[in-house]
Amino acid sequence: MHHTRTARALPIAAAFVLALTACGTGASADAPRDAAAESAPPSPAAEQAEAFSITDPWVKAVTAEEGMSAVFGEMANGSDAEIVIVAAEHPAAEMVELHEVVTEGTDSTMREIDGGFPVEPRGTRTLAPGGDHIMLMGLTEDLEAGMEATVTVEFADGSTTEFTAPVKEYAGANEEYEGDGHGQHEDDGDH
């Protein structure tokens, strides 16, 4: 009687679940049970990409005409050494930048962050509207609610990993972009 291999049925879904649940443990994704354990040698634990996970990732729905969107979620570092996200990619974005939002008075401006997104050992860093985000620019196709966006992130040591994020409708996250002409943006609603 030969055994069945149900674990191989949904490799994409399984990888997604692993990415979401690897939070805080780093090594927990190392046990895909079956064939993978035999064929794929474990990559060195020193890789920053291996320590990375992201919880509840999502991407703001936009049309290609709008041109820009952003990726959010709570990033986590499951290792005892700092990891730094230094770049990212999305297949429909001609350019991707790591942005921070700087607020002066009532003006919020987003700009490329110096040195990337460090995540402390065993720590987290949140990408959220009004704060840090991965900026997708020069979009060549619509990002419609319900789609899944695949985002690749690169770390300071050159390692990379990817995650999948659902695209969602969201009304906010419209910060002025520093590089996009000058944002003389009167926003006199004090909230």
Specify the stretch interacting with Cu ion by CB under 5 A; choose among 58-66, 93-101, 116-124, 147-155.
93-101
Residues 6+ apart with CB under 8 A from 142: 62, 63, 64
Min separation Cβ 161 and Cu ion, Å: 22
Min separation Cβ 110 and Cu ion, Å: 4
62 binds Cu ion (CB under 5 A): no
Q: Which of 52, 59, 76, 99 binds Cu ion (CB under 5 A)?
A: 99
Specify the stretch interacting with Cu ion by CB under 5 A; choose among 21-29, 41-49, 87-95, 98-106.
98-106
Residues 6+ apart with CB under 8 A from 157: 46, 47, 48
Q: Which of 88, 135, 136, 137 binds Cu ion (CB under 5 A)?
A: 135
Min separation Cβ 68 and Cu ion, Å: 7
Residues 6+ apart with CB under 8 A from 108: 101, 102, 130, 175, 176, 187
Residues 6+ apart with CB under 8 A from 100: 110, 111, 112, 113, 131, 132
In the bound state with Cu ion, the residue whose beta carbon lies nearer, of 90 and 159, is 90
Contacts with Cu ion by CB under 5 A: the residue count is: 3
Q: For residues 104 and 2, what is the distance between their CA atoms, to the nearest angstrom?
A: 66
| Residues at the interface with Cu ion (CB under 5 A) | 99, 110, 135
